[in-house]
A = this chain, B = another copy of it.
Amino acid sequence: MDSDLYEMPGMENARVTIKDVARAAGVSIATASKALNDRGRMTVETRQRIRDVAASLGFMPNAMARALVSQRSFTIGLLTNDTYGRFTLPVAAGLSAALIDCGVSVFLCAFEDDAGQAAINLRSMLEKRVDGLVIAGKRIDRGLPIELPRLPMPVVRVNSLCSDDQIGFVPDDREGALTAVNHLIACRRRRIAHVTGPTSFLAVRLRAEGWEQAVQAAGLPLLDGPQSGDWSEAFGFRSGQQLLAMPPAERPDGVFCGNDQIARGLIDALTVGGLRVPDDVSVVGFDNWEVLAKATRPPLTTIDMGLNELGRQAGSTLLDLVAGKHVEPGVRRLACRLVVRSSCGAQPL
Contact = CB atoms under 8 A, between A and B. Distances in A.
A252 interface: no
A4 to B, nearest CB: 14
Contact of A127 (B61, B108, B149): B61
B149 A63 contact: no
A268 interface: yes
B14 A153 contact: yes
A83 B121 CA distance: 23
A284 interface: no
Copies of this protein in the assembly total 2
Nearest to A233: B295
B83 A100 contact: no
A42 interface: no
A276 interface: no
A56 to B, nearest CB: 14
Contacts of A128: 63-64, 74-75, 105
Contacts of A295: 232-234, 261, 264-265
A43 to B, nearest CB: 27
B126 A100 contact: no
A123 B83 CA distance: 27
A201 interface: no
Contact of A65 (B68, B84, B151, B272): B68
B84 A89 contact: yes
B149 A10 contact: yes
Interface in A82-116: 83-85, 89, 92-93, 96, 100, 103, 105-110
A285 to B, nearest CB: 14
Contacts of A163: none
A214 to B, nearest CB: 29
